[in-house]
Amino acid sequence: MSETIDSNTMKYKLINLYQQNKLAIDAGLTDSMNKHREESIRYFDSLGIPYKGDENYKYTDMMHAFGKMYGYAFKSPKTVVDPETIFHCAVPDLDTHTIILENGWYYAKNQEQSGLPNTIVALSIREATEAYPELIEKHYNEQANNKGQATTAFNTAFAQDGLFLYIPEGVVLEKPIQVINLLRGTNPLLVNQRNLIVAGKNSQSKLIVCDHTLSHQHFLSNTVTEVFVDENAIFDFYNIQNQHNQSSQVTSLFITQMKNSNTLCNTLTLHGGFVRNNIHIKFKGEHCEANAYGLAIVDGKQHVDNYTFIDHAVPNCTSNEMYKTILDDEATGAFNGKILVRPDAQKTLAFQSNKNICLTNTARFYTKPQLEIYADDVKCSHGATVGQMDEDALFYLKSRGIGGHEAKMMLMYAFAHEVLSHIRVPVLAERYGELVEKRLRGELSRCEGCFVHCN
Amino acid sequence: MLSIKNLKASVDGKEILKGINLEVKAGEVHAIMGPNGSGKSTLSSVLAGSERFDVDGGEVTFNGKNLLDMAAEDRAREGLFLSFQYPIEIPGVSMVNFMKTAVNEHRKYLGQDSMSAGDFLKMLRDKKKVVEIDDRLTSRSVNEGFSGGEKKKNEIFQMAMLEPKLAILDETDSGLDIDALRVVANGVNKLKTKDNSTIVITHYQRLLDHIIPDFVHILYMGRIVKSGGKELALELEEKGYDWIKNEVAVG
Ligand SMILES: Nc1ncnc2c1ncn2[C@@H]1O[C@H](COP(=O)(O)OP(=O)(O)OP(=O)(O)O)[C@@H](O)[C@H]1O
Ligand SMILES: [Mg+2]
């Protein structure tokens, strides 16, 4: 099933798939989503599947993800996770409102069991097109549209479902919302999930997104999430990526921030054969703060690539970025961190750090900071390192009787810890700590305590 | 306890230890002094098992075992402790976790069960008193943001926790204020028994006023060029190193 084909042939196959199924894709959806399709597929056609070496894909071959044969489902899967199990599943110590999506489709029973207060709107984006037409009209594809991203345009052409989350003005959500994305099937599957999140003025909310696979097929999930964060709002987005190592995952997160807003996104990559994360953050109002963190622990032949683009379009905003990777075996990884400070964006503070450890000499990491600064009164810093484990620290531990493996574990954990220390949900930080430790010990096949028994 | 015979070591082909001989018996305190760059820290590192240096010759036995054959962590578990001249910071590793792991790794090596959390915390509290170390310090990451003096105190605190048979204190006095010096020296003295031994590396007599050595050795250009009793340190304090250097040059 996994024969490889060239990029152009694949592109035509996908465009053909779109044309053949246009009716099925449009079915049951309003114009607010459908009207974007034609332009997007043309845009996808003009860009093509990114090739390795392309400006933003210097070290990542997208054909690794796209160059396989996948099935496609234009309808919601009939069988969904047994609700009984879901009710018993609450992840220990992590009290959340749980929402499930299977193969990118919103699970119909989420409403009853998420326990979300009715001040918050969580819906399938399909339903939202009927129930919240103004919000969809205003925000859907507003950020993602034609931003030079073929995978995003591809998603817009095909998108049929996903999460719609609306935190109205002034609502403060105590518990985090946890979205569990499940992939399962009897055949290889390509999934385009599309999420839209609107965080109203003065609202506060936290979202945890867990990505899992439930069966062993090849999957390609191509997810686009647009987040609009209105004035004075605080919004956190935590993504735990733990798909199996034959799956490929492409995520594109777009965040627009209005005046005085504050966001945090944190991507934890544990398993997954091929992962490419795109993060676009744009400040549209002054006095905003954005925090983007990432930690990837990869081994075997895993590949992980984090691309970030922070657009300081207005003055007086702060961005903090910290991405770290630990690579074992023949794993490879890349980081590309673009920061654009536009001519008017005076008093910008932008900090970026990318640190990576290669545990073997077959592991490879490529890092590329990209600062474009057109304002003069700004403070920007960036630093990137790719190295081995600190020999002096290792000797210090050994000199106290903490030997080989245990010492290495401790230092790797310490290295990872810096990213974990920025998590703004204390119990989640603890849980991340446990996951990271298990992953480092090679004991993690799935999220401990999660009801989803994926391997 | 420790027997060093004709120990030679180099780094990147540069010979630093050029044949060290030293015998330390149980219960003894030895002081090693010597000008900057003479090889004192190198000797400590080589004994502790640093892989930065190549051992080019000689023998070291520690309680009857061939020390040079052992991995660094096993030397520690056998009871060798090095208080570093420049303790390193390890952000992200908490002092408590670090010490708990170290203590339990020692116990595992000796065939003992891990310590219960309660016992461990009690031990931690008791040992903190020995060196009068602040609670703030033990709740932080290893040495992270510690002042120079705090780092040195922390070394002695770790020594108290691990109860070594042989402790090598590499300039533990440098950077300490007068009170801290007294506290650290008292700590070392409190930990002293008739069975354990100490090698004190220092430049100053003031530490040796508190920790009184049985023997004083002068290390110069990779060799021990003179040994004597505690009065040798006083002589050095008075005369400096020139007469030693001249003696060596003449000899
Ligand atoms: N890693 C290294 N690479 C190169 N040279 C080294 C290295 N470590 C030590 N040396 C050299 O070995 C010699 C001895 O150094 P060492 O640190 O052992 O001296 P010391 O007696 O402890 O001095 P001090 O009193 O200043 O602490 C010095 O000339 C030093 O520069
Ligand atoms: Mg020294």
pLDDT at A91: 46
- Is residue A453 predicted with pLDDT exceeding 60? no
Contact B92 A417 (CB under 8 A): yes
The ipTM (two decimal places) reads: 0.96
A387, A389, A392, A394 alpha-carbon torsion, rounded to 10°: 180
- A445 pLDDT band, cuts 50/70/90, is low
Pick the closest to residue A299 from A272, A267, A339 (CA basis): A272
- Counts for chain A of helices (H) and strands (E), in that order: 13, 20
Range of the domain at B132: 2-250
Per the structure, the count of domains in chain B is 1
d(CA A50, CA A53): 9
Q: Nearest-CA residue of chain B relative to A398?
A: B73
Query: Phi-psi region for residue A425, left (φ > 0), alpha (ψ -120 to 50) or beta?
Result: beta
Give me the CATH number covering residue B148: 3.40.50.300
Contact B48 A399 (CB under 8 A): yes
Contacts of A410 in chain B (CB under 8 A): 93, 97-98, 101
Ligand 1 contact via B77 beta carbon (within 6 Å): no
- Is residue A446 predicted with pLDDT exceeding 70? no
What are the strands, taking DSSP E only, across A245-348? 248-257, 262-271, 274-283, 289-298, 303-312, 318-327, 332-341
In angstroms, the Cα distances linking A346 to A89, A103, A287 are 49, 44, 11
* Helical (H) or strand (E) element with A8: helix A7-20
Interval B57-76 mean pLDDT: 96
Chain B contacts to A (CB-CB under 8 A): 48-52, 71-77, 81-82, 84, 87-88, 90-93, 97-98, 101-102, 105-106, 109, 141-142, 158, 162
Ligand 1 contact via B145 beta carbon (within 6 Å): no
**How many CB atoms sit inside 10 A of residue B216's CB?**
25
pLDDT at A2: 44
Determine which residue's CA is closest to atom 6 belonging to ligand 1. Answer: B11
Contact A401 B105 (CB under 8 A): yes
**Nearest atom in ligand 1 to B52's CA:** 1
Interval A83-92 mean pLDDT: 43
Pick the closest to residue A14 from A161, A219, A146, A153 (CA basis): A153
- Tokens 């000499």 sit at which residue? A361
- A127 pLDDT band, cuts 50/70/90, is very high
The more confident residue out of B106 and B130 is: B106
Determine which residue's CA is closest to atom 19 belonging to ligand 1. Answer: B37
- A232 pLDDT band, cuts 50/70/90, is very high
Strands across the sheet containing B215-220:
B80-83, B166-170, B197-201, B29-33, B215-220, B223-228
- Could you say which residues from 400 to 429 on chain A have a Cβ atom under 8 Å away from some Cβ of chain B? 400-404, 406-407, 410-411, 413-418
Chain B: give the shortest CA distance to residue A357, in Å: 15
Contacts of B81 in chain A (CB under 8 A): 399
- Is residue A10 predicted with pLDDT exceeding 90? yes
In angstroms, the Cα distances linking B250 to B15, B21, B216, B245 are 22, 21, 22, 9
pLDDT at B245: 81
Contact A56, A336 (CB under 8 A): yes
- Is residue A384 predicted with pLDDT exceeding 50? yes
Chain A: give the shortest CA distance to residue B21, in Å: 23
Tokens of B57: 């010759």
Amino acid (1-letter code) at residue B157: F
d(CA A39, CA A23): 16
- Alpha carbons within 13 A on the beta-carbon side of A236: 21
Instruction: Note the pLDDT tens digit of each residue in B96-129.
Output: 999 999 999 999 999 999 999 999 999 999 999 8
| Closest ligand, as measured to the CA of B51 | 1
Interval B158-178 mean pLDDT: 93
Query: Phi-psi region for residue A320, left (φ > 0), alpha (ψ -120 to 50) or beta?
Result: beta
Q: Is A393 on the interface with B (CB under 8 A)?
A: yes
Q: For A4-13, A203-212, B237-246, which range has the lowest pLDDT when averaged over its residues?
A: B237-246
Tokens of A100: 């499930």
Of B72, B106, B141, nearest to A399 by CB-CB distance is B72
**How many CB atoms sit inside 10 A of residue A303's CB?**
25
pLDDT at B114: 92
Q: Nearest-CA residue of chain B relative to A396?
A: B88
Helices (H), A91-201: 110-114, 125-131, 133-139, 150-158
For residue B150, the Cα-to-chain-centroid distance in whole angstroms is 16
The sign one gets for the Cα dihedral A427, A430, A434, A435 is: positive
Tokens of B165: 């048979």
**How many CB atoms sit inside 10 A of residue A218's CB?**
22
Contact A415, A326 (CB under 8 A): yes
Pairing label, strands B65-66, A163-167 = unpaired
Amino acid (1-letter code) at residue B101: T
Q: A97-101: long-range contacts at Cβ-Cβ below 8 A with a sequence spacing of 24 or more?
A: A97/A122, A97/A175, A97/A176, A97/A177, A97/A178, A98/A178, A98/A179, A98/A180, A99/A163, A99/A177, A99/A178, A99/A179, A99/A180, A100/A179, A100/A180, A100/A182, A101/A161, A101/A162, A101/A163, A101/A179, A101/A180, A101/A181, A101/A182, A101/A193
pLDDT at A1: 40
pLDDT at A455: 36
Contact A89, A115 (CB under 8 A): no
Ligand 1 contact via B42 beta carbon (within 6 Å): yes
- Is residue A452 predicted with pLDDT exceeding 60? no
Q: Nearest-CA residue of chain B relative to A404?
A: B73
Arithmetic mean of pLDDT over chain A: 90
Predicted TM-score (pTM) of this structure: 0.85
- A87 pLDDT band, cuts 50/70/90, is very low
Ligand 1 contact via B16 beta carbon (within 6 Å): yes
- Is residue A62 predicted with pLDDT exceeding 50? yes
Instruction: Note the pLDDT tens digit of each residue in A140-196.
Output: 999 998 778 999 999 999 999 999 999 999 999 999 999 989 898 889 999 999 999
d(CA B251, CA B248): 5
Interval A373-386 mean pLDDT: 95
Tokens of A130: 């009927």
Interval A38-58 mean pLDDT: 92
pLDDT at A95: 81
| Closest ligand, as measured to the CA of B40 | 1
Q: Which string of DSSP letters, residue by residue, matches A283-311?
A: E-SSS-EEEEEEEEEE-TT-EEEEEEEEE
A24, A30, A34, A36 alpha-carbon torsion, rounded to 10°: -170
Contact B93 A414 (CB under 8 A): yes
Ligand 1 contact via B44 beta carbon (within 6 Å): no
**How many CB atoms sit inside 10 A of residue A404's CB?**
13
- Tokens 């095909």 sit at which residue? A158
Contact A64, A302 (CB under 8 A): no
Q: Is A434 on the interface with B (CB under 8 A)?
A: no
Ligand 1 contact via B154 beta carbon (within 6 Å): no
